[in-house]
C-alpha cells in the first residue's frame, strides 16, 4: 500500500486471441508488482476505488444484485477496469481493515408519529424513575407489557437428534401444525419481575386478565400509581382503554409508545430472549408443551434476571432527532 508508482510494472500478457490482457479496459497502472512476501502491492488510489465501490448500492452500478459479496466485488472491480487482477482475499482484507461490510444490513424507520419526541421522552423518563419532571415514589412502579402473537407448536415428523462429536444437532424439516398461542407478558422494569399467560388469541379479554394478574397482588395492589408502558395494539389503545382499566384499577396509568416505536418497550427485549432461548428451534410435542415451556422459562429467567441496563435517555433522544433533522431526510408518506 505504500509502494511508489515506480514499483508498478507493465506486464503485457497475451490472451488466446493474441490480444493484450489490457484490452479488457484495465489500465497498465492497475497491474500490481509483487512485494517482498510475494503479495501484490496496490497503490492507494486503487484501494480507495475498491472501497468506494463496496460503499455503493450494486443496482446504482448497473449490477443486478441486492448486496455485494466478496466474489461479486472482485468481478465488478475487474469489469470496471479498477484492477487487472485481484484476489477476493485482498478485497476482504481491505474492507475488514476499514470496517466495511456491504453484506450486512440494518433496517431503520423514520419517526413519523405526532408528538414523537414528547411521547418517547416520557417513557425514557419512567425508565429513570421520573414522571412529569418529578422522581417517582417508592410506592410507584413501572411495567412494560405486550403480547407475542402466533407462537406455533411445530410437531416434527421425526424426533430431533442432539449434537454429537463432529456433528451438529439435527432437526426434521417437515412438521405438523399443532396450533398457536398468543403470549401476554408484563415486565417490572425496576424490580425485574415477570408476569405472563398464554391465550388462543390476543384481545381485550386476555390483556385485561394479565392486568388483573399483576394488579391483584402486592406491591401493585396497594401502590400509589402503576405505570403500564404499552404500544398501540387494539386491546389497549387510546383513552377508551385507559377508562376501561381505571374503572377497575384506579391507580393504573397507561403510557403509550409512539407509533412504530416498539424499541422503547422493554418487554420486547424479553420477547427477543424468549425467541432465542425457547422458540429456536421450534420443536414441540403439542400446544400444551409450548405453554408449559414458556411459563417454566418465565420462572427460570425471573430467578436469574436483573433490570435491563437501559442507557438511552431523553438527552440521547434529543441528540438523535437533531442528527436526523440535520440530514434533512424526506418524511415518508403516512400509510
Q: Is residue 296 included in any domain, yes or no?
A: yes
Say if residue 138 is in the same domain as residue 39: no
Q: Are residues 127 and 25 in the same domain?
A: no
Percent of the chain, pLDDT > 70?
85
Say how far apart CA 116 and CA 72 lie, in whole Å.
41
What's the helix, strand, coil split of the chain in %, to 5? 40, 20, 45
The whole-chain average pLDDT of the chain stands at 87
pLDDT at residue 323 is higher than 50: yes
Domain shared by 199 and 79, yes or no: no
What 3-state class would DSSP assign to 184? strand
pLDDT of residue 39: 61
Assign 64 a pLDDT band (cuts: 50, 70, 90).
Answer: very high
Could you tell me if residue 9 is inside a domain?
Answer: no
- Pull the grid cell for residue 179: 396450533
State the pLDDT at residue 326.
77
Euclidean distance between CA atoms 328 and 24, whole angstroms? 42
**pLDDT tens digits, 246-258:** 999 999 999 999 9
Segment 158-185 shows an average pLDDT of 93
Rounded Cα distance between 117 and 258, Å, is: 9
**Does any domain span residue 14?**
no
286 plus 318 within the same structural domain: yes
Mean pLDDT of the 174-185 span: 95
Expressed as residue numbers, the domain containing 218 is 116-159+172-327
- Does residue 202 sit in the same domain as residue 54? no
Confidence class for position 325, pLDDT limits 50, 70, 90: confident
Tell me the CATH number at 307: 3.30.420.10
pLDDT digits (tens, 9 = 90+) for 234-293: 999 889 999 999 999 999 999 999 988 889 999 999 999 999 999 999 999 999 999 999
Residue among 77, 75, 90 nearest 38 (CA): 90
Whether residues 29 and 121 share a domain: the answer is no
Q: Which residue has the higher pLDDT, 84 or 197?
A: 197
Q: Which grid cell sits at 202?
A: 390476543
Please give the grid coordinates belonging to residue 184.
401476554
Same domain, 151 and 49: no
> For residue 229, is it within any domain?
yes
| pLDDT score recorded for residue 328 | 56
Same domain, 87 and 142: no
Do residues 82 and 152 share a domain? Answer: no
Question: In this structure, are 273 and 305 located in the same domain?
Answer: yes
Q: Which of 44, 68, 97 marks a domain boundary? A: 97
* Beta-sheet pairing, 134-135 with 140-156: unpaired
For the record, the C-alpha cell of 311 comes out as: 442507557
CA distance 88 to 99: 16
What DSSP designation does 22 have?
A: G
> What is the Cα–Cα distance from 303 to 201, expressed in whole angstroms?
28
How confident is the model over 296-314, as a mean pLDDT? 96
Stretch among 57-71, 88-102, 315-329 having the lowest mean pLDDT: 315-329
Residue 332 has pLDDT above 60, yes or no: no
Burial 294-317 (b: 16+ CB within 10 A, else e): beebbeebeeebeeeeeeeebeeb
The answer to whether the beta carbons of residues 232 and 207 sit under 8 Å apart is no
Cell of 156: 416434527
Based on the fold, state whether residues 139 and 54 are members of the same structural domain.
no
Q: Is residue 3 part of a domain?
A: no
* Residue 4 clears pLDDT 90, i.e. is over it: no
Residue 32 lies in a domain: yes
Q: Is residue 281 part of a domain?
A: yes
* pLDDT per residue as tens digits for the range 78-128: 999 999 899 999 999 999 999 999 999 888 777 778 889 999 999 999 999
Give the pLDDT mean for 184-200: 97
pLDDT in the model for residue 12:
40
pLDDT tens across 6-35, in order?
334 334 443 443 444 434 444 444 555 555
Mark whether 70 and 185 lie in a shared domain: no
Which residues, including other chains, have CB under 8 Å from residue 274's CB and lie 6 or more apart?
148, 183, 294, 297
Does a structural domain hold residue 335? no
Could you give the number of structural domains in the chain? 2
| Euclidean distance between the first and the last CA atom of the chain, given in angstroms as a whole number | 50
The pTM of this model reads 0.76
Amino acid at each position: 500500500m505504500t509502494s511508489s508508482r515506480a514499483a508498478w510494472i507493465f506486464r503485457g500478457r497475451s490472451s488466446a486471441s493474441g490480444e493484450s490482457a489490457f484490452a479488457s479496459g484495465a489500465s497498465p497502472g492497475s497491474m500490481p508488482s509483487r512485494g517482498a512476501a510475494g503479495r501484490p502491492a496496490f497503490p492507494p488510489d486503487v484501494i480507495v476505488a475498491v472501497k468506494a465501490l463496496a460503499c455503493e448500492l450494486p443496482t446504482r452500478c448497473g449490477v443486478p444484485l441486492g448486496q455485494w459479496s466478496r466474489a461479486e466485488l472482485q468481478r465488478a472491480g475487474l469489469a470496471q477496469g479498477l484492477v487487472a487482477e485481484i484476489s477476493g482475499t485482498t478485497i476482504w482484507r481491505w474492507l475488514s481493515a476499514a470496517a466495511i461490510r456491504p453484506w450486512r444490513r440494518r433496517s431503520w424507520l423514520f419517526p413519523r408519529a405526532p408528538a414523537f419526541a414528547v411521547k418517547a421522552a416520557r417513557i425514557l423518563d419512567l425508565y429513570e424513575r421520573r414522571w412529569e419532571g418529578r422522581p417517582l415514589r417508592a410506592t410507584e412502579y413501572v411495567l412494560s407489557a405486550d403480547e407475542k402473537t402466533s407462537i406455533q407448536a411445530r410437531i416434527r415428523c421425526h424426533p430431533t437428534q442432539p449434537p454429537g462429536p463432529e456433528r451438529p444437532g439435527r432437526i426434521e424439516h417437515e412438521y405438523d401444525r399443532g396450533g398457536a398461542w398468543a403470549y401476554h407478558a408484563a415486565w417490572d422494569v425496576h424490580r425485574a419481575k415477570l408476569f405472563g399467560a398464554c391465550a388462543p388469541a390476543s384481545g381485550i379479554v386476555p390483556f385485561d386478565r394479565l392486568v388483573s394478574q399483576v394488579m391483584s397482588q402486592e406491591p401493585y395492589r396497594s401502590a400509589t400509581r402503576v405505570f403500564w408502558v404499552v404500544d398501540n395494539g387494539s386491546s389497549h389503545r387510546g383513552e377508551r382503554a385507559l377508562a376501561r382499566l381505571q374503572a377497575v384499577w384506579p391507580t393504573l396509568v397507561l403510557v403509550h409508545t409512539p407509533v412504530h416505536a416498539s424499541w422503547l418497550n422493554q418487554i420486547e427485549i424479553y420477547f427477543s430472549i424468549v425467541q432465542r432461548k425457547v422458540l429456536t428451534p421450534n420443536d414441540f410435542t403439542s400446544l400444551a408443551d409450548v405453554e408449559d415451556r414458556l411459563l417454566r422459562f418465565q420462572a427460570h429467567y425471573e430467578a436469574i434476571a436483573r433490570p435491563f441496563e437501559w442507557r438511552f435517555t431523553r438527552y440521547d433522544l434529543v441528540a438523535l432527532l437533531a442528527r436526523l433533522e440535520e440530514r434533512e431526510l424526506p418524511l415518508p408518506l403516512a400509510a
